[in-house]
Amino acid sequence: MTIFFYLIVVLHVIACLFLIAVVLLQQGKGQDLASAFGGGGTQTAFGPRGSATVLSRATTILAGLFMVTSLALTIVRPQASGVLDSVPEATTSPSPAATAAPVTTPASPQSSLPAEAPAAAPSAAPSPAAK
């Protein structure tokens, strides 16, 4: 099964490289700036199509091959193929800080007493007009 996996990987990489080359070799439908904004008339993206060229057929076939090999790679992949597949799962245990009882400070005896009223306010000095 592993040899079959690597065979599909090689086929997938070859299909990717040829697909890149075929797409880059194709001539665009609208080659000028005016066709991007609707000035190309019949050469716009939704205009009438010409006959399929060898490059457009190759693109379709290679795109299909790319999709098929992608699906095949997900189906036939080895079970423990990644680094993370070989890492043991960590067990979750409560941390020592979480299990310790909360720290309580004893209340000081003075903190429970009611607050004392402030000392009497100093008497106001007599105003000079009162003389």
What are 38-97's pLDDT values in tens digits?
Answer: 555 555 555 556 667 888 899 999 999 999 999 999 898 877 656 776 778 777 766 666
What are the residue ranges spanned by the domains of the chain? Answer: 1-28+53-78
The pLDDT value given to residue 78: 73
Task: State the number of CA atoms in the 13 A half-sphere of 36 facing the CB.
Answer: 4
Instruction: List the single range of 3-12, 64-73, 107-116, 120-129 with lowest mean pLDDT.
Output: 107-116
The pLDDT value given to residue 86: 74
Q: Which residue has the tokens 């991007």?
A: 36
Threshold 0.75, pTM exceeds: no
Residue 19, pLDDT > 60, answer yes
Q: What is the mean pLDDT of the chain?
A: 74
Distance CA 55, CA 25 (A): 8
- Determine contact, residues 12/70, Cβ cutoff 8 Å: yes
Output 21 or 2, whichever has higher pLDDT: 21
